[in-house]
A and B are shown apart, each in its own frame.
Chain A
Amino acid sequence: MLGYILLGLVAIGVVWLIATYNTLIHLKNQVINGWKQIDVQLKRRHDLVPNLVNTVKGAMDFERETMEAVIAARNSAVNASGVKQTAQAEGMLTQALGKLFALVEAYPDLKATGNIAQLQEELTSTENKIGFSRQHYNDVATHYNTKQAMFPTNLIAGIAKASPAELWEIEDDSERAVPIVDLSSK
């Protein structure tokens, strides 16, 4: 009799173990996937920046400093790894782009060519998409972090190789102030 009870308890324990393990793996994959979604948009943004620079280069030759800042920010964003570093580098790029677009406003001829308006639209959209996938990523990552820290799930977090996912935080005030480059508002 006692044997059966013990067996039953062990069986319950095993089932719980498997279920919890699988939940953690599922959440971990969601976090990884969420990050990949951001990555796709970041990649797109990095591809768009050289196009933009090439388009405005001729007309804004004497704004060299601003353009170099954009290129430098773009390159450091491409090379960034890890959530924190990426977040920082992308923040810099956003700022640099914001400055560039603000300058473009001063060149009506340049703005009138369809190309720059199109690039601006694409960059705006990409930035919005980054913002929305960041919301999604942070939601999923928070859920994952909470789950693995809670008792008794935390007992097997080590077995599932679960470690807290980093959130994409906006650190600095000036960056918060320019979340969207939208100077095209009509």
Chain B
Amino acid sequence: MSSQNLFAQQQSNRRRSALLVAGFLIFFAWIGFGGDLSYYLLTRDAPPGSYHHTIPFMGIATVAFAAVIAWSAWKRGARRVLWATGAWKVVEATTPEQRRLVNVVEEMSIASGVPQPTVWIVPDPDPNAFATGVDPREAHIAVTEGMLATLSRDELQGVVAHEMAHIQNLDIRLMTLLAAMVGAVALLSDGLRNFMRFGGFGGRRGGGSSKGGSGPAGFIVLIVWLVTLLLAPLLSRIMAMAVSRNREYLADATAAQFTRNPAALASALERLDAASSATRSISRGAAHLCIVDPGERRLAARDGAVADLFASHPPIRHRVVRLRGMAFQQTKRDAAVASTESPPA
């Protein structure tokens, strides 16, 4: 990877991460102050003695809440993602498989020039892997037990190189923040839906006068606000996935540059594709962090608008085709200078 190209990727990820946090705060401000506004409009024409909502308590509360979530996503997001998958940290490699994994991570750390990440193993028989963290200096690579059992050394190297590429170009920062925040939004949305179902909102309003006098303005704000609130989890999911797809091609290419062995990563991806079961221990919230979609592989294999909208990863066969193309070019280059060199073993 040319350093210029890498620098551009890092800059773009820094900017997107900042935008993500800003968008997150604005979204919560909209929910809070939107609630305040509609409540204000509803109580504006109430008789002088009754309650008038003039101080935007809700807005202040939600923004403070969002700030805390954003801060903790930055500080503890990576740990939370790892914790959610039940991964354990490899402190001292005990089995040959673990030893091999640690060695491969060390090798790729040298090849990429990225400080050595912490190695985790996810107890799941389905082969998958992901990287997380907000800073390359404190990054984590997690691999499932199924991955260790299924792949050969070279294939594992390709997979680790792919994750290393995500770490190096700061994809992990954006992805980890997104995972932590998407989780928080989903939680909040569920909570609010329950709150309204049990009449928390209606009850408080019920005691006052009829809302006839407040005019349609309060209603419209209320409705728009509710619609956003209900659509939020869906939107955040689509955003999470849109953000991750092109990155996979890029990380595949960078991985090939690290290992100089695109064919190994291609065959690793084919093996991962062949494993049909879902990676149960990795929840949907962390799907975009993984090397292959942990959920519906069948969806990931499809083309078309719906798949484009919901799949967190490009179809594996498209990735394999690109990698095989690189491998072919490599052998062709080597063949072109075969008079002085023999092809790589």
Contacts and interface: CB of A to CB of B under 8 A. Distances in A.
A146 to B, nearest CB: 15
B113 A118 contact: no
Contacts of A128: 103, 107, 157
Contacts of A121: 96, 99-100, 103
Nearest to A173: B342
A66 interface: no
Contact of B110 (A122, A133, A176, A186): A133
Interface centre among A114, A122, A125, A178 (most CB of B within 10 A): A125
A177 B334 CA distance: 12
A186 B107 contact: no
Closest 8 CB pairs of A and B: A125-B103, A132-B111, A132-B110, A128-B107, A177-B342, A129-B107, A133-B110, A129-B110
Contact of A182 (B103, B108, B154): B154
B344 A179 contact: yes
Contacts of A118: 96, 99
A135 interface: yes
B342 A117 contact: no
Contacts of B154: 182, 185
A111 interface: no
Contacts of A135: 111
Nearest to B342: A177
A173 B96 contact: no
B106 interface: yes
Interface residues of B, number: 21
Interface of B: 96, 99-100, 103-104, 106-108, 110-111, 113, 152-154, 157, 258, 340-342, 344-345
Contact of A184 (B110, B153, B157, B342): B153
B111 A182 contact: no
A153 interface: no
A93 to B, nearest CB: 17
Nearest to B112: A132
B238 to A, nearest CB: 39
Nearest to A134: B110
Interface string A169-181: 0000100111110
Nearest to B151: A186
A166 B96 CA distance: 37
Contacts of B108: 132
Contact of B113 (A122, A125, A136, A176): A136
A142 to B, nearest CB: 14
Given A117-B96, A184-B153, A179 B110 contact: no
A179 B261 CA distance: 13
B100 A173 contact: no
B105 to A, nearest CB: 10
A124 interface: yes
